[in-house]
Amino acid sequence: MPVSRSVALVTLGCTRNDVDSEELAGRLTAEGWTLVDDAAAADVAVVNTCGFIEQAKKDSIDAILEAGDLREHGRTQKVVAVGCLAERYGKELADELPEADAVLGFDSYADMSNHLRAVLDGHAPEAHTPGDRRKLLPISPVEREAATQDVSVPGHGASDLPRARLDDRPWAPLKIASGCDRRCSFCAIPTFRGAFVSRRPTDVVAEGRWLASQGVRELFLVSENSTSYGKDLGDLDLLEQLLPELVAIEGIERVRVSYLQPAEIRPGLLRTMAATPGVVPWYDISFQHASGPLLRRMRRFGETDSFLGLIRSVRERQPEAGIRSNVILGFPGETPEDVAELERFLIEARLDVVGVFGYSDEDGTEGEGLPDKVDPEVIAERVERITRLVEELTAQRAEGRIGQSVTVLVEEVDEETGEITGRADHQGPDIDGATLLTGAVDAATPGTFVTATVVGTEGIDLIAEVTA
């Protein structure tokens, strides 16, 4: 029997990567590996990288370099890069980053244990040559299910696929799909994540039950495009059917749906989300911009008035719903008039949270080859300008909640200060601010829900008082 070796997983990027890391952790522990939290205490450090935007790539490379430094100061013998950056650049990354002892793509995940043992024994697998993963599956979505048996699609195992939790948070991401069929001209994700593939509802529910057995109270549904869920299974209403099953799981109190594509949001989905107790009034809608002509150039659909109509349809049913989005400034061809239109949209939309990003060319995207590039200094100025506006608007939106009653999932109790923080229904994990609890909080321990009244704000964060 092989000698037990230890491994640490360092995860960067989005919650979809969190799921991939926990699946890798499950596979490795099932193969006899000892899982440790501290990379310095592990024989091998596995860095699950992000390859989404330039800053994320830099952060991933820095993490690999930091793990490499542990060879001189800790137990660590080898460093292995996996995840989106490794998949996207493969051999090129391996050649330029010798600090990584191996660079492994998604197709290596199923046999990760043997790969890591080979790396430790000095026989690292050769890094792969990247390709367009969209081409691995049929163009027709309904023909993809059988084909996924021969293609590694992270997050798409059967219901008995091992998964090991890497934290004890009272919420957990639950992947419902992977990949994307859209062709946004600024985004490279489909090329390395592949075509859109839904997980079967039975597998999603089974994993939801397992997470509940691990103490999870809130399920955070993640994918590259949740509004496409079910299209490859022949039923575009499948998400509406899935949500009631998930909230019915014993121990699960809240279900949150992330990444809704505005062009694909159906009235039936909005009705179901609003009418299903336990599905939180939180809408993560990827607007990206509001100027119609610029959105067409981005290979997207919509404009200010249609987006405002969508927001109205949400708030007519749930006036206190939280709505978040991201916007990109400086896409090729963006004019001052486009920016002014985005400002008009943001002012009228009164969103709760807005991520503001400056455009940068991504390798292999259509945007990389477009003319009329915006000067980087102009992009920076526009980002600063919209960021200031967003900070003002979202702070006002938070202030408008003073006096409201909120249900808060307690997540953290600071042992030194005694501060207790959590998230209200309209606050998404990690990205949408938090709620600081005051008052009668003796019974507020992580994983419990408390009802409180909002009494103040700090930016988008709330201060809420719990009454006995």
Q: Which residues are annotated as a binding site for [4Fe-4S] cluster?
A: 14, 50, 84, 180, 184, 187
Q: How far is CA 443 from CA 39, 170, 467, 468, in A?
A: 35, 16, 11, 10
Characterize the bridge pairing of strands 449-458 and 461-466.
antiparallel
Structure-token match 């998400």, residue found: 239
Q: How far is CA 450 from CA 83, 165, 281, 315, in A?
A: 37, 25, 17, 24
Which amino acid is located at 27 in the chain? R
Structure-token match 């890798």, residue found: 24
Task: Name every residue whose Cβ is closer than 8 Å to that of residue 343 and which is 6 or more positions away in sequence.
Answer: 386, 389
Q: Reduced to 3 states, what is the DSSP secondary structure of residue 462? A: strand
CA 34 – CA 49 distance, rounded (Å): 21
Beta strands in 18-131 (DSSP E): 34-35, 44-49, 78-82, 102-103
Residue 451's beta-bridge partner residues?
Answer: 407
CA 282 – CA 273 distance, rounded (Å): 9
- Whether 239 contacts 265, CB under 8 Å: no
CA 442 – CA 22 distance, rounded (Å): 33
Tell me which residue of 266, 374, 283 sits closest to 321, measured CA to CA.
Answer: 283
Locate 268 and state its tokens. 């039936």
How many C-beta atoms lie closer than 10 Å to residue 307's C-beta? Answer: 20
What DSSP state is assigned to residue 260?
Answer: B
- Could you tell me which residues are annotated as the binding site? 14, 50, 84, 180, 184, 187
